[in-house]
Amino acid sequence: MKKIVIHPITRIEGHLKVEVTVDNNIIKDAAVSGTMFRGIEVILKGRDPRDAVLLTQRICGVCPEPHAIASVTAVEDYAGLSDKIPENGILLRNLIAGTRTIADHILHFYILSGLDYIDPAKVIELSGSDSDRDINTLKYFLEQGYSSPFLPRDNYMDYRFDSRTTGAIVSHYLKALDIYRKAQQAATLFGGKWPHDAAIVTGGVSGKLTADKITEFIWRAEEIIDFVKNYYLPDVMALAKTYNDYLEFGKGCQNLLAYDSSYKIKSPDGSYSDVLFKGGLVNDIDNYSELDISNITEDVTHSWYNDYGALHPADGETIPASDKEEGYSWIKSPRYNGKVYEVGPIASILTTYLGKKDSGVKKIVDDTLSEIGGNISSFYSVAGRHLARALSASLIADELLKWAMQLKAGEPAAVEYNTSSAAGENGDGKGMGLCTAPRGALGHWLNVKEGRISNYQVITPTAWNASPKDKDMQAGPYEQALIGLRIKESDSPIEILRVIRSFDPCTACAVHMITPRGELIGKYRIV
């Protein structure tokens, strides 16, 4: 038996530690730990509910928009505003979240994970006076001794792309940086500065909507859509074909959970009652069922928090206990009916494919599986997660111009929030905000007493996926995806990194709990 510890995992958001036990190159057990202690939930207590949208976005600087959407949705649920958001407000939220989600997926593939599969030696071989300027730029970094965006060349890396494909994907690396920037600029036209959009507010989206802004967005969106369709998706397809064994690699728990997305679609009756991605559950590869939010609980048996039993997030507590012997992570363990579920793009794609039976989604999924020679089970894998993420970006890209064309310049995009509209005496009440973040199902639960926040709980996608073992010793999705994995080189276990990065971890989101500033908790002091 050999123990391998990778700490920290690089090229992800936040601080993550992976410890595995290996016997004859097979991983027998795994423990995934969120090691950084930070947070928002307690800070929100006693504040005006409208403050939540600004503070919860500080949970993460990479994916703040889903927190903004979930937060204002929870407040609107509490205040009775859910069906009063103007059409412009609905469409602008679609455009802000959609464009930033596409940017996030592009960032993940080209900058954080995809180049795990690119051989730096081939990059140097391809470079020269007549070669692509992007390849020569990357050659310069390699010759200066930088390993990023690549891992060191002297490690076993299992590179398989031929020189032509290597050159194509590497040349798209710097183009991806440019498109990422342009996507953020496009969303900023409506959302305000980034990160942490200021324009997403309770009741809609603030600011004056002009024809110039709409035109500028459309102009930028066309280039973004072109990159998704003609660069990003084909590159991910090339990965799935070349590393076709990775369609069976890193399977995980194979239970999927997704919420209805916040991307609202106009129904035939003119209302926005439909959604782009339908929520639900998938079990046994292709068995779809509806989701009951009341069945969600959080377990803290192996988390550094006081044990309180399995509580629904609306009743959740966050009481740190850093010296807890059973604990090994600052991440809690969300469960559905006591079972482990993976969230993320494969969940959103398959719950929509199986539950909504949308013809557009069915076509793109069936065409993709046909091209790679796979089936639905192929999505439950390392390459499948990359594929689902690219398909998600493509489906959102298909809607961007439609949403932009439906905007009406000069008309309001928000309805005024009125505390007197809140349900309950003296402003007492509660609300729930659910949405689909780039990494999967995100939920905010709000309790208000006398017009002030009395409790606030957040379950992020990475909390679902990177969760530690629960009271029944059920491993979380990351851990299950590692257990049973065969690695070829224990001194350079690239397979572990490829599995973890396929989930696109955002540990900063998953460890968002905090105590009053400066309070000492065990060996940790919050400053």
**Each residue of 286-315: pLDDT tens digit?**
999 999 999 999 999 999 988 888 889 999
**Is residue 148 domain-shared with residue 207, that is, in the same domain?**
no
User: Binning pLDDT at 50, 70 and 90, where does residue 39 land?
Assistant: low
Model confidence at 423: pLDDT above 90: no
How, if at all, do strands 287-289 and 280-283 pair?
A: antiparallel
**Is residue 190 domain-shared with residue 131, that is, in the same domain?**
no
**Is residue 135 domain-shared with residue 279, that is, in the same domain?**
no
**Is residue 306 domain-shared with residue 317, that is, in the same domain?**
yes
**Is residue 406 domain-shared with residue 492, that is, in the same domain?**
yes
More confident residue, 189 or 267: 189
Query: What is the domain extent for residue 136?
Result: 120-156
**Is residue 36 domain-shared with residue 65, that is, in the same domain?**
yes
Last residue of a domain, one of 105, 133, 156: 156
Check: CB of residue 359 under 8 Å from CB of residue 398.
no
pLDDT of amino acid 149: 47
Write out pLDDT tens, residues 165-184: 988 898 898 899 999 999 99
Based on C-alpha coordinates, what's the Rg of the chain? 23
User: Binning pLDDT at 50, 70 and 90, where does residue 366 land?
Assistant: very high
More confident residue, 121 or 278: 278
Query: Of 200, 186, 220, nearest to 100 (Cα)?
Result: 186
Looking at mean pLDDT, say which of 168-172, 264-268, 438-442 comes out highest. 438-442
Model confidence at 146: pLDDT above 50: no
**Is residue 242 domain-shared with residue 145, that is, in the same domain?**
no
**Is residue 306 domain-shared with residue 376, that is, in the same domain?**
yes
For Cα atoms 440, 442, 237, give the angle at the middle one, nearest 5 degrees: 10
Mean predicted confidence (pLDDT) in 140-162: 60
pLDDT of amino acid 135: 62
Model confidence at 517: pLDDT above 90: no
Model confidence at 522: pLDDT above 70: no
**Is residue 151 domain-shared with residue 29, that is, in the same domain?**
no
pLDDT of amino acid 321: 87
**Is residue 291 domain-shared with residue 363, that is, in the same domain?**
yes
pLDDT of amino acid 127: 61
User: Binning pLDDT at 50, 70 and 90, where does residue 519 land?
Assistant: very low
Model confidence at 131: pLDDT above 90: no
How many domains does the chain contain in total?
Answer: 2
Model confidence at 456: pLDDT above 60: yes
pLDDT of amino acid 128: 58
**Is residue 144 domain-shared with residue 91, that is, in the same domain?**
no
pLDDT of amino acid 36: 74
Of 36-50, 100-114, 384-398, least confident by mean pLDDT is 36-50
CATH number at 240 reads 1.10.645.10
pLDDT of amino acid 139: 62
The rounded mean pLDDT for the chain is: 88
Q: Which helix (H) or strand (E) holds 91?
A: helix 87-106
**Is residue 146 domain-shared with residue 109, that is, in the same domain?**
no
Collapsed DSSP state (helix, strand, coil) of residue 525: strand
pLDDT of amino acid 521: 36
* Helix/strand/coil (H/E/C) assignment for every residue in 354-398: HHHCCHHHHHHHHHHHHHHCCCHHHHCCHHHHHHHHHHHHHHHHH
pLDDT of amino acid 282: 98
pLDDT of amino acid 508: 79
Query: Of 78, 107, 83, 395, nearest to 263 (Cα)?
Result: 395
